[in-house]
Homo-oligomer: A and B are copies of this chain.
Amino acid sequence: MIHITDPLIATYLMTLQPEEDPRLLAMEEKAKAMNFPIIDRQVGRFLHLLTLLKRPKLVVELGSGFGYSALWIARALEDGARIVLTEYAEKNLAYARGIFTEEGLAEKAEFRTGNALELGQEYDDIDILFIDMDKYLYPAALEAMLPHLAPKALLIADNALWRGRVVETLDTKNNEPVKKFNEIMSRHDSFFTTIVPVGDGVLIAYRLS
């Protein structure tokens, strides 16, 4: 089995900045208990940093689950900025809404139940698009969403290294679309793209114009 990052290094990163925030810890526990896939905590920190740097007005997330990644992003939003959460499962979004309300962040968020690919297309001038839905849909997400990005937008996708399977021949159902997605963005003339091996691999593409 491939470890994208050496396990000792991963542990060092986790202990260097022990998470003490009860809300984040409770969400991590919930994910573990439900065996529900959320972003790695280090990816959360990284999304928070990218959001601080980008200072977006509008963030759209495709595949929000119960709001763990959205919380990391929302905590970095400036006044007047907002994030749109999209998710099939109504009860996940209801949980997210509860968390955002407790945090005093509810007025910065919109909670949309339904097909993320359709909902996302209702927005224009998106400054950050974060993609974390079913992996086989990644190429379709590009086709649907690229026309809706603002100039100098940031497109970010989790699981760009798909547990290391991009270099293996397992799980081709998801593996092939993720590889195709990586290739499309890496070769796209309008974007500067790089994949950072944090957590399960994060693709970041900056729109050049």
Contact = CB atoms under 8 A, between A and B. Distances in A.
Nearest to A161: B9
Interface in A1-34: 2-6, 8-13, 16-17
Size band of the interface chain A makes with B: 35 or more
A193 interface: yes
Given A48-B192, A53-B154, A53-B206, A167 B2 contact: no
Contacts of A4: 5-6, 9
Contacts of A195: 13, 16
Given A13-B197, A53-B54, A8 B167 contact: yes
A146 interface: no
Contacts of A9: 2, 4, 161, 164, 166-167, 197, 201
Given A194-B42, A198-B197, A2 B12 contact: no
B206 A45 contact: no
Contacts of A182: 16
Contacts of A11: 167
Given A46-B194, A194-B45, A206-B49, A2 B13 contact: no
A121 interface: no
A167 B4 CA distance: 17
Nearest to A182: B16
B52 A192 contact: yes
A77 to B, nearest CB: 14
Nearest to A45: B194
Nearest to A50: B53
A144 interface: no
A194 B49 contact: yes
Given A2-B6, A13-B197, A53-B54, 6 more contacts: A6-B6, A9-B166, A17-B194, A49-B194, A52-B192, A53-B53
